[in-house]
Amino acid sequence: MAIRITDLTAEMAKGDKKKKVVLAYSGGLDTSTIAVWLQEIGFEVICYLADVGQREDFDLVRAKAKALGASKMIISDLREEFVTEFIWMAVKSGSLYEDRYLMGTSFARPCIGRKMIEIAMEEGADYVSHGATGKGNDQNRFELACYALNPEVKIIAPWRLPEFYNRFKGRADLLDYAKLKNIPVDATPSSPYSIDDNLMHISFESGPIEDPSKEPPSDTYRYTVAPEQAPDKPCRIEIEFSKGVPVRVHNLENPLETFDKALDIFMYLNKVAGENAIGRIDIVENRFIGMKSRGIYETPASTVLYHAHLDLELFCIDKEVYRIKQFLTAKFAEQVYNGFWFSPECEFVRHCLDKTQEVVEGKVRVMLYKGGLHIIGRESPLSVYNEDLVSMDVQGDYEPSDADGFIRINALRLREYCRVSRKCAKLQKVGLRPPSANGNK
């Protein structure tokens, strides 16, 4: 459980040295306020920002944290591990939360939380803090990760402390405090949205899109163009996979655009997919905490990889193995969305999903055109596809008459169901009449 203000007061009274807290710091108004407020109640604040590919002026954030009195500003470049450990797992699993959301925020949070705990241990900080609200999913994701990795850690969640949220009831109160404490505030008007930006996606919530019936303003989107603004010429690319992971991508019409390093592959796909209007969704989803929320998401590269990987996977994986994987994928998506990445059940499911990917080897060719994503070919040395076996022109190693017994066995259950149903009027519900007593139909 997150620490309460009464516990904080008691803790601060112990000893002569200031207690250290690692604050997940973005440089925005909320976490800047929290940084000063934590010092106000007696903490030494170490600010931490994870670079997971967001478009950010890190020098500006560093300077701002120091100006606010932070003893340190630690910026960790997590882009490579975010891609290789988390995004690639998203690709291998084929995860979609509620059949639509690729979970760009959900996959980033355990990566960020793990590093925060590592820094807290290195710095000798007993406390960590964050600016997540009491209504969202991120509070669960951050804190469950922290407790899983260091059960003794103490978490300060200001937006769940009555002493904090009653004092700062809205943006006006935050701005008044910023003026009082000389907290630098951007001169430009703040975005009306709550935004999460990383390599995998950018998301928009709150503000003018809280009304689910309203179309998002055209200037909402940042990393994808509208379909009508996309190029008139299709973009054709080939993606190569090994054990379910992308290992190479190249533009079929421009061989110079070839990439084989994880971060480069993902960034290139973000670029070409965004230019061709791929990856936008507008959904209402169920938060873990129990309420529904509307989100606008741009997920260009992951959208391409989801469809390319699915195509190759079905080309290579046994049918019954794939059916079991579908069940595991649904569980995995729920675990990740809800913040249970470091749980034993999630670890188990990841191992199972990895096993299914051992045969997912090959190449997929994709055409991107004005918001449309079209698979135009695939090849694999491990495919279970047998052209001779399936061909209508070649009999292959298959005897068509064998299908007679196959059909009769599968029809046995259906015949028995019909026999029992004739004893009642049940068949009438599907447009059939039971035989009459005199045998007339």
| φ, ψ (nearest 5 deg) of residue 134 | -80, 0
Per the CB < 8 A criterion, the answer to whether 278 and 368 are in contact is: yes
CA distance 285 to 103: 11
Among this protein's residues, is 138 annotated catalytic?
yes
Q: Which of 79, 95, 106, 109 is catalytic?
A: 109
Among this protein's residues, is 194 annotated catalytic?
yes
DSSP state of 82: I
**Hey, how many other C-beta atoms are within 10 angstroms of the C-beta on 436?**
8
Per the CB < 8 A criterion, the answer to whether 311 and 375 are in contact is: yes
| Strand pairing class (19-24; 43-51) | parallel
DSSP state of 210: S
CA distance 50 to 52: 6
Q: Which of 138, 196, 197, 311 is catalytic?
A: 138
Q: Which of 71, 76, 194, 380 is catalytic?
A: 194
Q: In the β-sheet with 72-77, what is the strand arrangement from edge to edge?
A: 72-77, 43-51, 19-24, 127-129, 154-156
Beta bridge partners of 292: 286
Among this protein's residues, is 260 annotated catalytic?
no
Among this protein's residues, is 213 annotated catalytic?
no
CA distance 167 to 409: 72
The DSSP annotation for 13-31 comes to TSSSSPEEEEEE--SSHHH
Q: Is 295 left (phi over 0), alpha (psi -120 to 50) or beta?
A: beta
Query: Which residues form the catalytic set?
Result: 30, 109, 138, 194
